Amino acid sequence: MDISRQIKQGISTGELVFGQRETISACARGDARLILVAANCPQEHVDVLASNHPNIPVHRLQMVNRELGSACAKPFAVSSICIIDAGQSELMSLDHNL
């Protein structure tokens, strides 16, 4: 699966939020269905997500935050993405790998 293409598909047809604060907020509201984190996402952020929201799957990507930001068509680095609605993308088929 081409993750970059699926992220773009999710952005255009679904609902995704970007960044650590937005991801934590979506998890706290109960909106999150899947969390994608960059390869170089700070481990303390991943630990907070895993401990506070153990029922939400977290998938660590092979791309670093700059590549993830580029895949999201953002002019800045993105360390985490929260999928609220995957739309027509296949993002929900990613396995929990943490």
Of 34, 18, 42, 19, residue with least CA distance to 90: 34
Per-residue pLDDT at 24: 95
Q: Are 24 and 50 in contact (CB under 8 A)?
A: no
Q: Are 86 and 95 in contact (CB under 8 A)?
A: no
Sorted by where each starts, the structural domains of the chain and their CATH numbers stand as 15-88 (3.30.1330.30)
Q: In what order do the strands lie in the sheet with 34-37?
A: 15-18, 80-85, 34-37, 58-60
Distance CA 78, CA 60 (A): 13
pTM: 0.93
Per-residue pLDDT at 1: 82
Which residues of the chain are under the pLDDT cut of 70?
Answer: none
